[in-house]
């Protein structure tokens, strides 16, 4: 085993769905700095191409592709462009996901009144939006005989969080699907295709900023303070906190690791509250 190259990803091609988001963009930039060719998939052409431009100006290789992860035909078109541009797909990171205010309980909106279409939207984005890219790019990996898939689960796949019933259940589904796909690819195709997930704890993103902090004062909301009180490391995560684990799971350093969900949560899942 060559320890000097254990984490080497240079020359590989990575597809990142939701790549222009807060967490996805941090992964894209880091991979590009490591010599990975990055295909950034996102619902909006402007954001994905802007990030790709930034990466290219910094000396990396990247393309931005507008793609709806709920549209299999669009994913197949994106895959064709990736292959035409870079020639292979070595890595798939499914970073597309999220919650919706209308699927979140509150004093004004009890659980009993959450609209079905909002609940369905959350399930579709997180579950179907992970499965469909795995179908398209996983098939390419099967034909190549190798590849790595990394899904983005969540801390609430282990411990359901208050207020977000659809998101908690959907992310639990992502973890379950990750384990299922890891076994399926290893047994039906090749053990050289590995499938894992990370389960981030609480990271400050644009999506949850004003759930965790007051929009006007910037102070923590009661929910935001509760999270800090239950995180032994006493802070929210930074996107860069994900990168070491991500690089490990994508590289040969984890070549005997598949079907696992790795918490990155500052100790949140280890703390009982007392």
User: What are the pLDDT digits (tens) for 194-231?
Assistant: 999 999 999 876 666 656 766 778 788 888 888 899 99
Q: For the whole prediction, is pTM greater than 0.85?
A: yes
Q: Is it the case that residue 2 has pLDDT exceeding 90?
A: no
Q: Terminus-to-terminus CA distance in the chain, angstroms?
A: 44
Residue 183 banded pLDDT, cuts 50, 70, 90: very high
Structure token digits, residue 182: 């890891």
Whole-number percent of the chain with pLDDT over 70? 97
pLDDT digits (tens, 9 = 90+) for 230-272: 999 999 999 999 999 999 999 999 999 999 999 999 999 999 8
| pLDDT recorded at residue 209 | 62
Catalytic annotation present for 167: yes
Q: Which residue in 167, 177, 203, 236 is the catalytic one?
A: 167
Tokens of 274: 């007392």
Phi, psi of 151 (to 5 degrees): -95, 155
Domains of the chain: 3-201+237-264 (3.40.50.720)
pLDDT, greater one: 203 or 180: 180
Residues 6+ apart with CB under 8 A from 43: 66, 67, 68, 69
- pLDDT tens profile 127-171: 999 999 999 999 999 999 999 999 999 999 998 989 999 999 999
What is d(CA 175, CA 158) in angstroms, rounded to the nearest whole number? 9
Q: How far is CA 122 from CA 21, 96, 230, in A?
A: 17, 11, 26
Closest by CA to 17, choosing from 49, 41, 46, 44, is 41
């Amino acid at each position: 085993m060559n320890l000097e190259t254990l984490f080497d990803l240079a020359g590989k091609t990575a597809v990142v769905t939701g790549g222009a988001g807060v967490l996805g963009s941090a992964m894209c930039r880091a991979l590009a700095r490591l010599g990975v060719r990055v295909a950034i998939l996102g619902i909006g052409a402007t954001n994905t191409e802007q990030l790709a431009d930034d990466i290219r100006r910094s000396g990396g290789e990247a393309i931005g592709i507008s793609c709806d992860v709920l549209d299999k035909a669009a994913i197949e078109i994106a895959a064709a462009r990736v292959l035409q541009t870079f020639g292979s797909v070595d890595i798939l990171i499914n970073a597309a996901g999220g919650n919706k205010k209308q699927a979140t309980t509150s004093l004004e909106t009890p659980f009993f009144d959450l609209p079905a279409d909002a609940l369905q939207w959350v399930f579709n984005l997180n579950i179907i939006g992970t499965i469909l890219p795995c179908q398209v790019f996983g098939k390419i990996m099967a034909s190549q005989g190798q590849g790595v898939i990394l899904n983005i689960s969540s801390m609430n796949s282990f411990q359901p969080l208050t207020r977000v019933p659809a998101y908690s259940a959907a992310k639990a589904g992502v973890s379950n699907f990750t384990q299922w796909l890891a076994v399926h690819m290893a047994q039906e195709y090749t053990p050289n295709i590995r499938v894992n997930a990370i389960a981030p704890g609480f990271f400050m993103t644009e999506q949850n900023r004003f759930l965790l902090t007051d929009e006007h004062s910037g102070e923590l909301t009661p929910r935001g303070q509760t999270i800090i009180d239950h995180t032994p490391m006493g802070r929210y995560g930074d996107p860069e906190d994900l990168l070491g684990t991500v690089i490990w799971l994508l590289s040969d350093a984890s070549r005997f690791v598949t079907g696992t969900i790795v918490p990155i949560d500052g100790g949140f899942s280890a703390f009982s509250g007392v």
